Amino acid sequence: MIGYVTLGTNDLERGAKFYDAIAAAMGVGRMMEMERGIAWAVPGGAAGIGLMKPFDGKPATVGNGVMVALEAKDREQVDTLYRIALENGGTCEGPPGLRGDSFYAAYFRDPDGNKLNAFFMG
């Protein structure tokens, strides 16, 4: 149902470093680059993420209650994505672990404060 997700940034270069590392760990690269933004996805594949400077020229802000969930292939990839996020300027919002019986997840924010989660069901 979701075509793609766009998150705001105030520092595209800093944010690109963060998402390049996360995307590479998931086997995905940059699909599109523009002066105001970059998108990571596989053409014709699942939904991707775009990081954009706001069109209106005002500062990017974080949405309260907004989160993007990244589906990992296994628990090890959840751990890897969490580690990569923290190594590239992200901050912890909840370390990797089970939430319930079969939902394994880690929560983190990108350098602009956008909340993400990496998860695996099973």
Q: What is the SS3 assignment for 74?
A: coil
CA distance 2 to 94: 25
Whether pLDDT at 1 is above 80: no
Domains and CATH numbers, the chain: 4-54+66-121 (3.10.180.10)
The β-bridge relationship of strands 48-52 and 4-8 is parallel
CA distance 25 to 85: 10
Task: Kindly report, residue by residue over 14-70, the tens digit of the pLDDT.
Answer: 999 999 999 999 999 999 999 999 999 998 888 899 999 999 999 999 998 899 999
In this prediction the pTM is: 0.91
Predicted local confidence at residue 2, as pLDDT: 83
